[in-house]
Structure 1
Amino acid sequence: MSGILIAVAAIAVLAAIFGLLLGFASIRFKVEADPIVEQIDAILPQTQCGQCGYPGCRPYAEAIANGDDINKCPPGGQATIEKLAALMGVEVEDSAHDESKGIKKVAFINEDMCIGCTKCIQACPVDAIVGGTKAVHTVIKDECTGCDLCVSPCPTDCIDMVPVEMTPETWKWELNKIPVVNIPTDASANKVE
């Protein structure tokens, strides 16, 4: 019985020593991340589509922090460009992003032509396409980011990018654009006698 207690105590002591060593190492060898990269990455849409020329949103955020253009993200649109411009303190032209690309599009699979090869499923970075091998595939409209990466691998050209129908939910509401003017009031003019 005492042999078991000695073994448990020895393991507990070793665990405590290694825990202290790991705690010390995490403080001593801490690597500071660039906070501007974190802020830029939070603004980007996180579709990981690669349309900007980088393999994902994080590498593009690092490139922007190092001075790359802020208008290379088609899924983010003009709103993302404006947020990035405000964060980086640069001017942005109204035409910095092509508005025709700003219209949200989603993939549509012509199910009569689909052969179920799964190449579009493998190409989709956000898993918006469902289906099995040699079965008809379909696109989950709410998940599709419109990155267009599923179109080119399709051997039967059965995938088209179609604009999303405008509804009250998808309309570009600009409710925060109403100008607010503070009119200074004279304290003596408001005084009631």
Structure 2
Amino acid sequence: MSTLAQRVLAELPQTQCTRCGYPDCAAYAQAITDEQAPINRCPPGGAEGVERLARLTGRAALPLDPTYGTEGPRQMAFIDEDWCIGCTLCLKACPVDAIIGASKAMHTVLEAHCTGCELCIPVCPVDCIHLEPTSGSLTGWAAWSQSQAMAARTRYAQHAARPPADAPSPAPLPEEAPAAAQADPRRAIVEAALARARARRTQS
């Protein structure tokens, strides 16, 4: 990565939310440097973020492109632990390892590390994760400090460098199990957990 790309990256909030259309903040910074992307696609950075990038790149400070989201308060993910089935999908989706837990065990969010990226929301099969604003009326960079951005960048680098953990071997299925379940036993385990969660909701 060139010096300019590094400087552009340093001006991004490091939420790794992918809302800009790129897989991470570094990829967006490189695209800006290569003049393949405009500087107004980062909702977490907001208007101040666009101004920072404009000063650095010499481009015009355009309004934030609403196609990629709008500026708002900092948000944090919360897990309804009564409904969590321990599927670990949100752990894998979190780019900064702000969710802890284990297979078939309750998960929880480390509030100090959550960037509000929203990537854990769509992967949850039981919709037990929601976002709550945590910065009051403060938005963009006013709601997110440079030190928080640096910490998130470090955690993301550690996350990206770590090889994915091997999935635990599921228990053998009984012979009478359907052929589809035998072909993919992990899916059968998740479906069983979903069935239990649906049953609990029906009873409540």
TM bucket, shorter chain: 0.5 to 0.7
Matches within 5 A, 1:1-193: 34-67=2-35, 68-93=37-62, 95-96=63-64, 101-166=71-136, 172=142
**Paired residue secondary structure (1:161):** strand
Q: Counterpart of 1:96 in structure 2: which amino acid?
A: L
CA drift of 1:113 comes to 1.0
Partner residue, 2:189: none
Farther-moved stretch of structure 1 (70-79 vs 131-140)? 70-79
Q: Counterpart of 1:36 in structure 2: which amino acid?
A: L
Partner residue, 2:164: none
1:171 & 1:34 partners in 2: Cα distance? 24
Q: Counterpart of 1:76 in structure 2: which amino acid?
A: G
Q: Per the alignment, do residues 90 and 165 of structure 1 end up closer, same or farther by CA in structure 2, a change over 3 Å counting?
A: closer
Q: Per the alignment, do residues 102 and 77 of structure 1 end up closer, same or farther by CA in structure 2, a change over 3 Å counting?
A: same
CA drift of 1:51 comes to 2.0
Q: Per the alignment, do residues 39 and 100 of structure 1 end up closer, same or farther by CA in structure 2, a change over 3 Å counting?
A: closer
Q: Give deviations 1:4-59, integer Å, cap 9, x for gaps.
A: xxxxxxxxxxxxxxxxxxxxxxxxxxxxx532112101212233332211122222
Aligned residues between the structures: 139
Q: Per the alignment, do residues 165 and 89 of structure 1 end up closer, same or farther by CA in structure 2, a change over 3 Å counting?
A: closer
Which TM-score applies when normalising by structure 1?
0.63
**Paired residue secondary structure (2:130):** strand
Q: Per the alignment, do residues 100 and 54 of structure 1 end up closer, same or farther by CA in structure 2, a change over 3 Å counting?
A: closer
Amino-acid identity (%): 47
Q: Counterpart of 1:53 in structure 2: which amino acid?
A: G
2:15 & 2:57 partners in 1: Cα distance? 21
Which TM-score applies when normalising by structure 2?
0.60
**Is contact 2:17–2:119 with CA below 8 Å preserved after alignment?**
yes
Q: Per the alignment, do residues 83 and 171 of structure 1 end up closer, same or farther by CA in structure 2, a change over 3 Å counting?
A: closer
Q: Counterpart of 2:42 in structure 1: which amino acid?
A: C
Task: Report 1 or 2 for greater relative contact order, CA contacts < 8 Å, sequence distance ≥ 6.
Answer: 2
Which of these two proteins has the greater Rg computed from alpha carbons? Answer: 1
Task: Compute the RMSD of aligned alpha carbons.
Answer: 2.6
**Paired residue secondary structure (2:71):** helix
| Structure 2 portions without partners, runs of 5+ | 144-204
Q: Counterpart of 1:146 in structure 2: which amino acid?
A: G
Q: Per the alignment, do residues 101 and 136 of structure 1 end up closer, same or farther by CA in structure 2, a change over 3 Å counting?
A: farther
1:113 & 1:133 partners in 2: Cα distance? 14
1:116 & 1:157 partners in 2: Cα distance? 12
1:115 & 1:49 partners in 2: Cα distance? 24
